[in-house]
Amino acid sequence: MKGTLSNVPIAKELDIVGARQTGRNIANDLGFSSVDQARIATAISELARNIYLYAKKGEITFQQVEGVAPVGLKIIAKDNGPGIKDISKSMIDGYSTSGGLGAGLPGVKRLMDDFDIMSSDEGTTIHVIKWLR
């Protein structure tokens, strides 16, 4: 089945765990290896954590897509928060505004195959895709 597989609202810290588990289950169902499932789950954790910390609420959407490979898992992290003031700075390894380790968005980009970010003062949307190999 192509298209949207699930939407997970992010409004409290526990929702991060729910999004991570949903993504891992979907990745397993689509046939991703356990290593890629771990990569996907880690990326989801970071995206959902950013929503929770910076925007307070948002949504993680999971979609099955076709393109580079016959099967891909697209994850869309969307919020209506304050936006990312300096996207290029947020993509530098080690940069953090929360005092965290700073693996953040550069880490998500490395874990996934495709990465796209759009941000304004009306919110942020990040699209990432992992292709089944």
3-state SS, one letter per residue, for the chain: CCEEEEEEEECCHHHHHHHHHHHHHHHHHHCCCHHHHHHHHHHHHHHHHHHHHHHCCEEEEEEEECCCCCCEEEEEEEECCCCCCCHHHHCCCCCCCCCCCCCHHHHHHHHCCEEEEEEECCEEEEEEEEECC
Contact (Cβ atoms closer than 8 angstroms) between residue 30 and residue 75: no
Structure confidence at residue 98 (pLDDT): 61
CA distance 80 to 124: 7
pLDDT score of 99: 56
Token look-up 């409290």 returns 12
CATH number for 60: 3.30.565.10
Number of domains the chain is built from: 1
- State how far the Cα of 130 lies from the Cα of 75, in Å rounded to an integer: 9
Identify the pLDDT of residue 93. Answer: 76
Contact 10, 48 (CB under 8 A): yes
Query: d(Cα 47, Cα 16) in Å, to the nearest integer?
Result: 9
Q: pLDDT tens digits for the chain (133 residues)?
A: 578 899 999 999 999 999 999 999 999 999 999 999 999 999 999 999 999 999 999 999 999 999 878 899 999 999 999 999 888 888 887 766 665 544 689 999 999 999 999 999 999 999 999 999 8
Is the pTM above the cut of 0.75? yes
Residue 20 has a pLDDT of 97
As beta bridge partners, residue 78 has 59, 125
Domain coverage including residue 69: 3-131
Question: Would you state the pLDDT for residue 90?
Answer: 83
